[in-house]
Amino acid sequence: MPLTDRPTPRPIRHLGFAVKVLGTPGLKSNDARRWQSGPHLRVSIEYLARIFEYCDGIDVRMYRMSSDIAPYATHPTMPQFHDQVRECADDLAALGARARELGLRLSLHPSQYIVLNSPNPAVARGSARDLEVQTEILDAMEQGPEATVIVHGGGGYGDKVAALDRFCRAWEGLSERARSRIAVENDEDIFSVEDTLGIHRRTGAKTIFDHQHHRLNPGTWSGREADAANASLATWPDGVTPKLHYSSPRLDAREVTRGGKAKPGAPLLSQHADYIDPWTFDAFARTLRRPVDVMLEAKAKDLALLRLRKDLAMLDAKIV
C-alpha cells in the first residue's frame, strides 16, 4: 500500500458503556428499592461484582457505574443512609481490586439534579456533598486517576458569565480529592466546549468532550470539531488517558414543538440512538491526536458497543 493511502490511525484504547447491561438478563446495576425497604450499597456492590465479570467475559474494559449505587447516601432527612460508604469500606476495596485485576476503567456520572453552580445555596451545597460521596466511592475502591466523576456545568440562569463564576467558586469549596476526580462535560444547550475549557483554565478541572453535545451546542467552535475535541483532551494530564463521550442522534424520535427550538416533525437531535453509526464514528476518531477511551451513550448499551466493535473491524477489513 502506498504511504499516502495509509489511513490515519484511530487512537482508541477502550470502548465503554453506561450502567445497564442488556446482553444478559438479570444483571441489575444498583439497589433501587424504595427507602422503606432499606436499600444499601452492599447490595449494589454484589450486583456490580457480577457486571464486572460480565464485562470481562465480553472483553470490555470500561464501564460507568450507576450514580445511585449508594441509595439516599446524601438525602437531607435520612441520616440512617449516610454511612454506607464507610460501612462498605472492605467490600468496596475488594470490588475495586477486582476492577484493577480486570483492567476495568470505572466512572460515575451523577444525575441532572447535581447542580454545583445553583444560586440556591442549599442546592449547591447538596450537590457538592453528592460529588464528595461519589469521590469517596472511587477512593474506597482504590482506583487510579483514570477513574473519574463526571459533572455538567449546571444551569445558565440567564447570565452565563455569572453562572460560570459561581461554578468556579463552588469548585474551590470541594475537597482536593474531589477536584482531582471530577471532569466537566460540555452540555447540549448551555455550556459549550469553549466554556468547559474556560473552566479548565480557571480551575484546572479536566474536561470531557461529548461529541453529540458539541454538535448541538458548538458555540464559537462551530466547524472546528476536531479542534474542540483535541483541545478538550489536552486538559488531561500526561500519563492519564483521557476519555470522551460519543453517541449518534436518534432521528426517528417523535415530533417536538416545545421551546420553539425544533420545528414540527423535526427529530429531537439530543436523543440517543440505539446504536452508533460506525462511519461517522470512524471519521471522528481519526481526527484525534492522543490515545483515548470512549464512553458510548447508546440506548442499546453493551449491545451497541459489541456492534460498533464488529462494524469497525469490518471497516478495517474493507468488507463493507
**Interface residue with DNA, options 48, 115, 131, 140 (CB under 7 A):** 115
Asked whether position 210 contacts DNA by CB under 7 A, the answer is no
- Please report which residue ranges of the chain form alpha helices under DSSP H: 41-57, 84-87, 89-102, 121-140, 160-172, 176-181, 193-203, 211-216, 225-233, 278-285, 301-317
Select 65 or 193, whichever has its Cβ closest to DNA. 65
Asked whether position 168 contacts DNA by CB under 7 A, the answer is no
How many residues bind to DNA according to rule CB under 7 A? 45
Q: Confirm if 118 and 167 have CB atoms less than 8 A apart.
A: no
How is residue 253 written as a grid cell? 424520535
Asked whether position 256 contacts DNA by CB under 7 A, the answer is yes
Select 136 or 236, whichever has its Cβ closest to DNA. 136
Q: Minimum distance from CB of 231 to DNA (Å)?
A: 24
Q: What per-residue string of b and e applies to 21-46 under the rule 16 or more CB within 10 Å gives b?
A: bebeeebbbbbeeeeeeebbbebbbe
Asked whether position 190 contacts DNA by CB under 7 A, the answer is yes
Asked whether position 283 contacts DNA by CB under 7 A, the answer is no
Altogether, the residues listed in the chain come to a count of 320
Question: In angstroms, rounded to a whole number, what is the distance separating the alpha carbons of residues 193 and 211?
Answer: 10
**Interface residue with DNA, options 6, 258, 263, 318 (CB under 7 A):** 258
Binding region for DNA (CB under 7 A) out of 7-15, 63-71, 167-175, 284-292: 63-71
Asked whether position 155 contacts DNA by CB under 7 A, the answer is yes
**Interface residue with DNA, options 2, 3, 36, 176 (CB under 7 A):** 36
Mutual angle of helices 193-203 and 160-172, in 10-degree steps: 40
Q: CA neighbours within 13 Å on the CB side: how many for 129?
A: 13
Nearest to 14 by CA among 147, 183, 110: 147
How is residue 250 written as a grid cell? 436518534
Asked whether position 29 contacts DNA by CB under 7 A, the answer is yes
Q: Minimum distance from CB of 187 to DNA (Å)?
A: 10
Q: Minimum distance from CB of 144 to DNA (Å)?
A: 26
**Interface residue with DNA, options 10, 11, 19, 54 (CB under 7 A):** 19
Residues that bind DNA (CB under 7 A): 18-20, 28-30, 32-37, 66, 68, 71-76, 111-115, 118-120, 123, 130, 154-157, 189-190, 256, 258-260, 268, 270-272, 301
